[in-house]
Structure 1
Amino acid sequence: MRVIKHFILFTIVFQWSITIYGQNKPNIILIVSDDAGYADFGFQGSKIMKTPRLDKLAKESVMFTQGYVSDPTCGPSRAGLITGRYQQKFGFEENNVPGYMSKSGLTGDDMGVPLEEVTIADYMKKLDYKTAFYGKWHLGGADRFHPLKRGFDEFYGFRGGARSYFPYENLPASHLDKMERGFGNFEEHEGYLTDVLAENAISFIDKNKNDPFFIVMSFNAVHTPMDGDEKDLKQFPNLTGKRKTVAAMTLALDRACGNILDKLKALKLDENTIIVFTNDNGGPTDKNASVNKPLSGTKSNHLEGGIRVPFLMKWPNKIKESSKYNYPISTLDLLPTLYVAGGGKVSDLKNIDGVDLFPYISGVNKNRPHESLYWKKDARAALRKGDWKLIRFPDRPAELYNIEEDISEHNNLANKYPEKVKEMYKQIFEWELTLERPLWQLKKKFEKFDIDRMDKYR
């Protein structure tokens, strides 16, 4: 009897220590949408898009009003996110486009995150997390870059940058567009891809409900091709053309996110799960009719509309609901933030550019997480320093904006503050000295170059 009493007491104390000291690791789901417009969610002010589940998530989260990506295009942005480093530091400066060859001889499949780079999944596995990746990879098509070789235990998705939302009846033009389960098991899905990806994530949650898990839910929605499900298109009778289709695709994205959240609640995991929702770059206002207002610019450029994205983070009882954080932060910060939340130490992380955001969110650290943020592609570059932003062009004078006072970047102050321009120009040059040469540069006319096909992967 005494032994039983001692066991019960030990169990109570152990559970209490988990609650007090945070030894019960939170589950983590990182949701990344693709090419969504900054203003194309209800929680971002849209009166057209129907996003009730994400709007509810926003009310339960902290909203980062100045959330940035590290590049205004898909591949480089994702390379920065998954490593917590400026991707230019390991030469991943341009999209990896299948079917083309760089000046150095690299083909599309060979263009990936170098193997010596440590991914967020590598780090989470060290903390005994079960790891999974669903959807668009776009970080290297060759086998050596495969998600299962970059820290993930499970993969269901496609290696490339864009594909049909409906099953292919014939083989796609690029083998990287084929759906793949695990490693090398290629088989087309049944149904609408956005829904199918969520279903696979839900299955993983069910299988690993007793273990801490880390999921990257990498939707290809709402990237082209413009494929709306018929039932979703019917929800927008007053819209036409691409705007109607992107609204339908966004509704499907919202539904898929909601289904994942419902599964967490059904398993009583929702109170111990961190949810992050963000986008990989600004919306392309031409190709999918996305809306970035009040931001100027679009995907592929360094105006705010190309690099500022919706950004939510929920952690029940840890992050204040329906709150806002107004200093600039970056998707580079996700790796250290989530690693620390899982029980890791910042000192374990080597050569990263992101920071742990929780001291800032909580108010313990009242400074800015970043005094400076950088962007670069070829000769184009941008620097956000405090509230000032300089954009450098290869073919015309630089532009200077005060983002705090001019979010839409309408008032170029370069002529008014020439010394500020000079100072920030010099800072960009100094940062560029820390970077590697690009491993590939696709803007030059290499053999078999096809600009229309390249644009598909942007």
Structure 2
Amino acid sequence: MVGGWLPVAVIAFFSLFLVSTSRCLAAEKPNIVLLFADDAGYGDFGFHNSRHFRTPHLDALAKSGVRLTQFYVTGATCGPSRAGMLSGRYQQRFGYEEINVPGIMSEHSKLLGDEMGLRTELPTMGNYLQQQGYRTAVFGKWHMGVADRYHPLKRGFDEFYGFRGGARSFYAYDNRDSTARENWIERGFEGYQEHQGYLTNAIADEACDFIQRSKEAPFFAYVSFNAVHTPMQADPQDKAAFPDLQGERRTAAQMMLSMDRACGQIIDKLNELKLADKTIVVFTNDNGGPMDKNGSSNYPFAGVKGTQLEGGLRVPGVVAWPGKLTPGTIYQQPLSTLDLIPTFVAAAGGDPATIENLDGVNMLPYLQGDSEVRPHPTLHWKMETRSAIREGDWKLIRYPDRPAELFDLSKDPSEQNDLAAANPEVVKELFRKQFAWELELQRPLFMLRRAEEGWSARRADQFRQPPAEDY
């Protein structure tokens, strides 16, 4: 009798052991929530000492983790920036250099139409985390191609709620035929149904529902708000807020307040489910604020979205991981959205060194104080003939229609004192290194053809002075 039961008991024991071990391994992998703003100004956050905008939930997140004071995107506009972040590679390496919003920027883009998107042979952040055993989801703005083959569910994500394009109304469309399909709210694949209420709130509700349903296993939620991108539309409940501000500046503050509240709702859900202590939460933004389009402020930096001044490229960055990162600390060396994939993979127990062609680094040794070397000795940016390179604290900006400019960011982060004439050898060396990097790149696939030559240079001139602190 004993002999008959023994094999069954042994099998049952090992089955329970394997299930228990599997659960333990899953429990060791942190959940990951990436909160991502759209066109927000660097200076428009409480944790960046904004005098007018209120972001209490994000301020609390910054106090609970590490604030990155020199955090960069890979491009100064939405689409290229997101392509770099989601692939972990400089987007210029695979030709996603110029185009931003399909269909509205140029005749060339109108001809290409649905052909524009993040190349399908490239793994995404979602793919890498699926390989680590994560359930993955996107909420909000996708902007990586509107054709079906570019759809998030075909690019490493298990769930999608949002819209495929780059901008849309924050209110539901009464008549979907009045706008392009890429702007329609979609659940899953082609499950089109407009949201109820204000879109920022709907995105938060859907993210919280996903977290609730996924709490038993590691999950990755990419929460891609379209706030505070145009159109400038505030949540009705915030219409009376910020009476001391005027026009678009006031509306931007109201939209930011709504987005901050949505971030707080998601963080509250993690706390409610007792998941906060085993969840990495990152907050950042896709590029600098456009200022003249949405009333944002990039104080204390010069430049705006679309320029390679600091105001176009440097964005807020917060990383919180209870028990792993010291609360209330500041990391002051340059880091990049390129670093998110290797950081997430490493946190999940994988080895980012085994992934070919990544341009980023695992941030954890730097944020945990285990490495004091500079994570990125050199960073590069490029859009057609315009480019920038940062090596150490030197930054060179190359224009198509004027001499290059050189700045020492350690002494002049607002880029007001051009040192090119006084340092010709530094200029020469940075040109050489930038050209060497450009030889590694693929020719741009989707090139803009603006009617005005020198558009970016003139835009840089327009916003050469940093905005006033109390703007």
Q: TM-score range by the shorter chain?
A: over 0.9
Residue in structure 2 matched with residue 33 of structure 1 by the alignment: 37
Could you give the per-residue CA deviations for residues 387-445 of structure 1, whole angstroms, max 9, x where no partner exists?
Answer: 00000000000000000111111111001101100110111111000000000112256
Matched AA of 2:280 = I
Residue in structure 1 matched with residue 146 of structure 2 by the alignment: 141
CA contact (8 A) 1:158 1:178 kept: yes
Matched AA of 1:151 = G
Could you give the per-residue CA deviations for residues 242-289 of structure 1, whole angstroms, max 9, x where no partner exists?
Answer: 011000000000000000001110000000000000000000110011
Separation in 1 of the partners of 2:349 and 2:29? 7
Separation in 2 of the partners of 1:29 and 1:324? 20
Q: Give, in angstroms, the shift of residue 208 of structure 1.
A: 0.6
Query: What are the equivalent positions in structure 2 for 1:48-447 lying under 5 Å apart?
Result: 48-99=52-103, 107-171=112-176, 172-444=178-450
CA contact (8 A) 1:371 1:385 kept: yes
Could you give the per-residue CA deviations for residues 155-201 of structure 1, whole angstroms, max 9, x where no partner exists?
Answer: 00000000000111122432211111110111111000000000000
Separation in 2 of the partners of 1:321 and 1:68? 22
Change (3 A) 1:22 1:388: farther
Separation in 2 of the partners of 1:104 and 1:47? 40
Q: Give, in angstroms, the shift of residue 22 of structure 1.
A: 9.3
SS in 2 for 1:288: coil
Separation in 2 of the partners of 1:368 and 1:22? 33
CA contact (8 A) 1:96 1:108 kept: no
Separation in 2 of the partners of 1:118 and 1:313? 23
SS in 2 for 1:66: strand
CA contact (8 A) 1:132 1:214 kept: yes
Aligned length: 443
Q: Give, in angstroms, the shift of residue 98 of structure 1.
A: 3.0
CA contact (8 A) 1:98 1:174 kept: no
Separation in 2 of the partners of 1:312 and 1:268? 21
Matched AA of 1:128 = G
Could you give the per-residue CA deviations for residues 61-84 of structure 1, whole angstroms, max 9, x where no partner exists?
Answer: 100110000001000000000000
Matched AA of 2:183 = D
Matched AA of 1:97 = V
CA contact (8 A) 2:26 2:217 kept: no
Could you give the per-residue CA deviations for residues 299-343 of structure 1, whole angstroms, max 9, x where no partner exists?
Answer: 100000000000000000000100011100000000110111111
Change (3 A) 1:106 1:347: farther
Separation in 2 of the partners of 1:197 and 1:91? 31
Matched AA of 2:250 = K
Separation in 2 of the partners of 1:353 and 1:413? 29
CA contact (8 A) 1:277 1:313 kept: yes
SS in 1 for 2:59: helix
SS in 2 for 1:411: coil
Separation in 1 of the partners of 2:369 and 2:30? 21
SS in 2 for 1:157: strand
Separation in 1 of the partners of 2:59 and 2:450? 43
Report runs of 4+ in structure 1 exceeding 6 Å deviation.
Answer: none
Separation in 2 of the partners of 1:181 and 1:104? 27
Q: Give, in angstroms, the shift of residue 363 of structure 1.
A: 1.9
SS in 2 for 1:276: strand
Separation in 1 of the partners of 2:356 and 2:330? 30
Could you give the per-residue CA deviations for residues 223-247 of structure 1, whole angstroms, max 9, x where no partner exists?
Answer: 0000011221212122110011000
Matched AA of 2:47 = F
Separation in 1 of the partners of 2:49 and 2:76? 22
Change (3 A) 1:166 1:128: same
Matched AA of 1:72 = A
Q: Give, in angstroms, the shift of residue 348 of structure 1.
A: 2.7
CA contact (8 A) 2:39 2:290 kept: yes
SS in 1 for 2:358: coil
Change (3 A) 1:345 1:23: farther
CA contact (8 A) 1:79 1:87 kept: yes
Separation in 2 of the partners of 1:329 and 1:127? 24
Separation in 1 of the partners of 2:45 and 2:101? 29
Separation in 2 of the partners of 1:380 and 1:104? 20
CA contact (8 A) 1:97 1:108 kept: no
Change (3 A) 1:126 1:428: same
Separation in 1 of the partners of 2:210 and 2:322? 22
SS in 2 for 1:135: strand
Matched AA of 2:146 = G
SS in 1 for 2:255: helix
Residues 1:43 and 2:74 are matched in the alignment: no
CA contact (8 A) 1:96 1:112 kept: no
SS in 2 for 1:255: helix
Change (3 A) 1:104 1:241: closer
Matched AA of 2:161 = Y
Compute the TM-score of the two structures, normalised by the length of structure 1.
0.92
Segments of 5+ residues of structure 1 without an aligned counterpart are none
Question: Could you tell me the percent identity over the aligned residues?
Answer: 53
